[in-house]
Structure 1
Amino acid sequence: MKKSFYALLALAGLATNPALAQDAESLFQNKACAACHATDVQLVGPAFTDVAKEYSDQDDAVGILVDSIMNGSTGKWGQLPMPPNNVTEEEATALAEWVLEQG
C-alpha cells in the first residue's frame, strides 16, 4: 500500500514535469541501466521488451519496477542481482513507465 502511494506521488510529479517523462530514454542512456540492459536483447539483465511482457498485466507494474530500480532486486531474472540505482523517485518512475512501453 505504501509503495503504491509513493508511485502515485511520483506519477503526479511526472504530470507536472512532462519533459522528465519524455526524457526517459536519455535517462536510460545516462544512468547505469545501459550497462546491463537493452530494449530488445538480453545482456546481463533482461531485455526491456521481456520485462514489459512480464509485468504488463500487473496492477502495480510501475511501482514494482520503481522499487527494483531504486532498491535493486535479487532472483527475479536469474542469479545475478540488480544493484540499486542512483536515481530519484521521479526518474525511477519515468524509467519504469518507459520500460513498460517497450512491450
Structure 2
Amino acid sequence: MKLNFKLNLSLIAGAMLAVSCGGSGGGSSESETTSSTPAATPEPPKEVNLEEKYKDDPVFIRGVELMKQNDCPSCHMIERKIVGPSYADVAAKYESTEENVEMLAGRVIAGNVGEWGEIPMPAHPALSEDDAKDMVRYVLLLKK
C-alpha cells in the first residue's frame, strides 16, 4: 500500500509538472500559442522625406541646382524653418499655378516682407526671371 501511495503521488506530481510546463511530449496547446505570442500589429507606413520623394523629378533636380548656386539655403530648408519658412510650408500655402509661380518669382527677385513675418527676404536682382520661376516650381513641388 505504501508503494502504491508513493507511486500515485509521483504520478500526480509528474502530471502537474507536465501541465505547468506546457504538457508532455514537447507539444504546445492552442491557448499557449495565443497567450505567448502577441498579436501582430501592422507597422505604420514609413514617412518618406520630401528630398527622397522627389529626388528623380527634373523640376526637383533643377531647383536644387539653382538653390545651391544662390543664397537660399542660408534662410530656408526643405522641411524645417530657419530664418524664412521651409519650402514645404510655402508649398502648403500656395497652389502650384502659373499665376502663383509668376507672383512668387517676382517676390524672389524684388525681395519681400510681411508674408511670413517681419524678417525681410532680400532681393535677388541678378536672378533671371526663368531661373526664379524654376526655383519657385521646385518649392511648390515639395508638398507633403
TM-score normalised according to structure 1 size: 0.74
User: Does residue 64 in structure 1 map to residue 103 in structure 2?
Assistant: yes
- The secondary structure found in structure 2 opposite 1:73 is coil
State the 1:29 CA deviation: 1.3
Asked if 2 retains the 8 angstrom alpha-carbon contact of 1:46 and 1:77, the reply is: yes
The runs of 5 or more residues in structure 2 that have no matched partner are 1-57
User: Does residue 87 in structure 1 map to residue 124 in structure 2?
Assistant: no
Q: Distance in 2 between matches of 1:30 and 1:66?
A: 16
Distance 1:31 1:60, change over 3 A: same
Please identify runs of 4+ aligned residues in structure 1 that moved more than 6 A. none
What letter corresponds to residue 87 of structure 1 in structure 2?
L
The runs of 5 or more residues in structure 1 that have no matched partner are 1-18
- The secondary structure found in structure 1 opposite 2:133 is helix
Q: Distance in 2 between matches of 1:97 and 1:57?
A: 7
Residue 75 of structure 2 corresponds to which residue in structure 1? Answer: 36
Moved more, 48-57 or 19-28: 19-28
Q: How many residues align?
A: 85
- Calculate percent identity across the aligned residue pairs: 28
What letter corresponds to residue 89 of structure 1 in structure 2?
E
**Higher RCO structure (Cα 8 Å, ≥6 apart):** 1
Equivalent residue for 1:54, pick from 76, 93, 102: 93
Deviation sequence 1:41-70 (CA, Å, 0-9, x none): 000000000001111176621012101110
Moved more, 39-48 or 50-59: 50-59
Distance 1:30 1:47, change over 3 A: same
Say which one has the larger Rg.
2
Tell me which protein shows more helix as a share of its residues.
1
